Structure 1
Amino acid sequence: MAFHISLEEQISKIRTHLANMGKVSTGKVRPRIFVAVHHVNWEKHGLVDGWAEIADVVHYDWGNSFDQYAADWHQRGKPDFNKVLLRQVELAHREKKIDLFFSYLSGRWVYPDTIRAIGKMNIITANISLDDKLKFWGYQEPGGLSGNAEIAPEFDLCITTQASEDVQKYLSVGARSLFLPPGGNTHSFSPIPAPRDIPVSFVGQCYGARPHIIAWLKSNGISVQTFGKGWPSGELSHQEMNVIYSRSVVNLGFGFIGDSPLTGLKGRDFEVPLMGGLYLTTYNQDLENCFIPGEEIECYRNETDLLSKLHYYAEHPDIALHIGAAGRNRCLREHTWIHKFKTILSIIGLSNQTSDQNGSCLLNESKKQALDFFNSAEQFAHNNQYKDAIQHYQMAIEADTTFANAYYNLGIVCSNINQTDAAISHFKKVVELEPQSAGAYNNLGVSYFSKGLIEEAESHFRKAISLDTNYTEAIQNLENVHVKQAFSKVEQYGGKLDGWALSKNEIRSFAIHVLNTNPEPTIIELGGGQSTLFWKFLAQTKNTRIKVSTFEHHP
């Protein structure tokens, strides 16, 4: 059994090492951080955007430029990747000093020498890993071990998130490690107004023991609605996933790592509670150190325990939602990625905030008061008591005028009650405080669109997408702007809209085509004396359903 390394000891080892290396930093309002993270599905809104809230970020995402599964990866791909990575850091550092190199890499991707070279630029280096229980060592490859064991000693600190016991693995190879549970992004995971009409849901892939447990629950009277890859419903977009979370009284979780019987912390353990429903998942000790089971989340130890608790909360949904609200508040206080990254900055000396001996940022009294008002406002908003919610958000802002989340949620409430000008004012304040807030730009776009200010709406949707290229809602909102612009263009040339028999997506595709492909309308004769705009294009659209002529053009 691995012995326990206290958080104080972990921090002491990191700080002693930095002092020995001459990397003594002073606090900065916004340190400059080079973030080497490839976005696949969650990485940008988790790791990149979290840093961008509190630091000036140089993000390097290699996209499809390198393929770790290519046949010549070890002979050509990996050496080239390391050369490009080092060059990117050198160029950014030459332009302006980089304070911290932060990466989400493994030995599969990077050589120890590359990290050593970055460290020699007097840059503090840190790597984060979310899979150390099974993948710390990895397997031997031509370029070294695929896990983190060989590269870890070259980093100034290694953040491990899955289990506190994994710290010992890093110490065994001469590395310095910090156990820091994952976090969530409040802009990406925030409840939306919706009835809680799904008693129990599970969102995630169908594999391992999951389908067997779900089937067993259903055979015992628990109707679990499942969503995700491998289930009949299929995969969900991020927006659709948030709708399911917001409609669910109980959000079911499975804490096992892959197909193994081992458990570990996951990003989902902090993202789902942010949605406000009850999160019911597999018990593990590290999770209990983050939440109070039965008060902020709920845990089960076996299938019988799971069934019993599901029956109980089916009969007491009010208790389930009360626990869910407490879980969301705990996340807002302690478990966002911003909290995690501020802790890192505090430990390595780059934070300008007072910190306690454990490296956690201390809240002054006014900020604590602001958080109390904010939590009350959240409860009022959840219950559609908008007048009280507005009052308490305003009180939170009076206590802390830099409380971006309070401005953001106040803007949401004002939008819900059609106070559009007030909503715009609040979202503008969010942008002022957090220039990288894609959510604020998107909501500004929605507000301007509702006022008929189409150009302003478009510019803000585009800004949101530039900050988060996978922001589905902003992309759809921008497409809606294109639809309106396209229809206006048609009407300008005498067209008219009658009797559409097309799906929403087909209308959108057609409108975008009209606007972008051929902004000057032309006539296509289809016979029968019917003249239409781009009917040929529509006829080529999959599953197009057409009534008689509708889109007429009269030159």
Structure 2
Amino acid sequence: MRILFLGDDWVGSNARSMADGFREAGHDVLVIDTTPVALPGRLTPPWVYAKLGRGRAPWVLADLHRRIDAAARDFRPDMLFCFRTVHLDQDRLLALPAAVRVHYSPDDVANPYNTTPEYLRRERDWDLVITTKEHNVPELAERGARETLFVLSAYDPAWHRPTARRSPQEFTVGFVGACRPDRRDFVTDLARIHGARMAVLGPGWRRVPALRATSAHLGGAVYGEEFSNAVASIGANLVLLNSDNRDTHTCRTFEVPAAGGLFVGERTHEHARLLDDGTECRLFSTPEELAEILAWAETEPDKARDMAERGRVRIVADGHAYVDRAREITAAIR
């Protein structure tokens, strides 16, 4: 198929991985980058405009839609695939010439942060709405969505793969992900226990005073291959979920084991189905259970590495790359 793909096209973005997945699956893909509207650069006029509560900068939005319209006219797509384009003009998107119009949401569509009134007004007019949250399927049907499809998140083999360590530092435990209110105290408590043996990487962590007071290694966001480089230095890689999205799995569910890291994650039905607890990963429900797991990983590093490798083999063998999701989506459409 000829696919006009709209999404944030920065290095390490899930949208870029999905677009490449469609290309690898054999489709002709044209990508239009929506980053200028979705994530304007910090302190730029569009960023200031949004921070003042005025929404997305209309001049940036108009320029993006002109490029989308021109691409659709020249490319003549069979499918319009929109990766979380809730901040774009829904009327203009749905008027584009394409046989099938698909909207994909990587997060909980019941969370107001992941929608807009403009999107909700036209949600029922998309030919297919895709979600990575199984609980969203009946909720979307209740909202009037024409057709829905649940697919799991995925990993990108171009970035998420075992790499050699880039630093002599090794950490007993680490978390790579954004600072969120539901994670802050949990991660800070772990940092107090493990100190310099713990790494915490991601946006916002350096702004937590209690965490800075520990001796844990703090760093900024890492994307793409840099994520795998970080995983290579961490013995036990925490997979923490987003309560606002009611997560039962996340992208890290696949990215950590694909990168060769030992998956130490919250116990959910999806995690238990994807990896075998005790042989391919370690799951926990309480801080006490996690403490036992981390003590084991530190005292039995060879066994931990063997478990990480079995987890990697399982995730790869079971078909959880973005190309596999692209094939699921096109099969559903056909």
- State the TM-score bracket (shorter-chain normalisation): 0.7 to 0.9
Does the Cα contact within 8 Å between 1:277 and 1:320 map onto a contact in 2?
A: no
* Aligned Cα root-mean-square deviation (Å): 3.0
Instruction: Give yes or no for the alignment of 1:35 onto 2:16.
Output: no
Work out whether residues 245 and 275 of structure 1, in 8 Å CA contact, stay in contact via their aligned partners in 2.
Answer: yes
C-alpha contact 2:297 2:304 (8 A) present in aligned 1: yes
Match of 1:123 in 2: 99
Q: Secondary structure at the match of 2:323?
A: helix
How big is the shift at 1:196? 9.3
Q: Which amino acid counterpart does residue 126 of structure 1 have in structure 2? A: V
Structure 2 residue aligned with 1:321: 305
- C-alpha displacement of 1:42: 1.3
Partner of 1:114: 92
| Separation of aligned partners in 2, 1:79 and 1:109 | 9
Contact preservation (8 Å) 2:36, 2:60: no
How much has 1:312 moved relative to structure 2? 2.3
Q: 2:125 aligns to what?
A: 154
Question: Do structure 1's residue 100 and structure 2's residue 71 form an aligned pair?
Answer: no
**Does the C-alpha gap of structure 1 residues 114 and 274 become closer, same or farther in structure 2, counting only changes over 3 Å?**
same
- Measured in 2, the distance between the counterparts of 1:165 and 1:261 equals 10
CA contact (8 A) 1:137 1:149 kept: no
Alignment of 1:63-462 (within 5 A): 63-64=35-36, 67=46, 69-70=49-50, 71=54, 73=56, 78=61, 81-82=64-65, 84-93=67-76, 98-111=77-90, 113-118=91-96, 121-132=97-108, 134-135=110-111, 145=117, 148-161=119-132, 163-175=133-145, 176-194=147-165, 197-220=170-193, 223-229=197-203, 230-231=205-206, 233-238=218-223, 239-257=225-243, 260=244, 262-333=246-317, 334-349=319-334
Post-superposition Cα deviations, 1:64-91, rounded to whole Å, max 9, x if no partner, equal 3785855474876656654543343122
234 and 248 in structure 1: CA distance in 2 versus 1, 3 angstrom threshold:
closer
CA deviation vs aligned residue, 1:268-299 (integer Å, no higher than 9, x gap): 22111111121112222233333333333222
Matched, 1:52 2:38: no
**Matching residue's letter, 1:199:** T
Aligned to 1:526: none
Decide whether aligned partners of structure 1 residues 243 and 83 sit closer, same or farther in structure 2, where only a CA change above 3 A counts: closer
* Structure with greater strand percent: 2
Distance of aligned partners of 1:284 and 1:86 in 2 relative to their CA distance in 1, 3 Å threshold:
farther
Deviations 1:246-286 (A, max 9, x none): 122211121123xx494343222211111112111222223
Q: Secondary structure at the match of 2:249?
A: coil
Structure-2 change in CA distance of 1:128 and 1:62 (3 Å): closer
Q: Deviation at 1:342?
A: 0.9
Inter-partner Cα distance in structure 1 for 2:92 and 2:248: 30
Which residue identity is paired with 2:5? V
Which runs of 5 or more residues in structure 1 are unaligned? 1-30, 350-555
Q: What residue identity is the alignment partner of 2:139? A: K
Percent identity, please: 21
The answer on whether the counterparts of 1:295 and 1:326 sit within 8 Å (CA) in structure 2 is yes
**Which whole-Å deviations, capped at 9, do the CAs of 1:141-183 have from their partners, x for residues lacking one?**
xxx615x53333222211101x211111211122211110111
In 2, Cα distance between equivalents of 1:174 and 1:282 = 33
Q: Structure 2: how far apart are the matches of 1:50 and 1:60?
A: 16
SS of corresponding position for 1:150: helix
Contact 2:21 2:325 in 1 (8 A): no
**1:388-442 alpha-carbon deviations (Å, 9 max, x no partner):** xxxxxxxxxxxxxxxxxxxxxxxxxxxxxxxxxxxxxxxxxxxxxxxxxxxxxxx
Whether the aligned pair in 2 keeps the contact of 1:126 and 1:157 (CA below 8 Å) is: yes
Q: Indicate if the aligned counterparts of 1:45 and 1:188 stay in contact, CA closer than 8 A.
A: no
**SS of alignment partner, residue 137 of structure 2:** helix
Judging changes above 3 Å, is the alpha-carbon distance between structure 1 residues 209 and 105 closer, same or farther for their aligned structure 2 residues?
Answer: closer
Match of 2:209? none
Amino acid at match of 2:99: I
The amino acid of 2:105's aligned partner reads S
1:478-530 per-residue CA deviation (whole Å, 9 max, x = no partner) reads xxxxxxxxxxxxxxxxxxxxxxxxxxxxxxxxxxxxxxxxxxxxxxxxxxxxx
CA spacing shift, 1:83–1:324, aligned 2, 3 Å: same
Q: Give the drift of 1:103.
A: 0.9
What is the total number of aligned residue pairs between the two structures? 304
Q: How far apart, CA to CA, are the structure 1 residues paired with 2:321 and 2:311?
A: 12
Partners of 2:19 and 2:245 in 1: CA distance: 31
> Cα gap change, 1:110/1:295 in structure 2, threshold over 3 Å: closer, same or farther?
farther
In the superposition, the TM-score normalised over structure 2's length comes to 0.79
Q: Distance in 1 between matches of 2:86 and 2:16?
A: 24
Give the 3-state SS of the residue equivalent to 1:205 in structure 2.
coil
Q: Which has the higher contact order (CA 8 A, sep 6+)?
A: 2
Q: Alpha-carbon deviation of 1:187?
A: 1.0
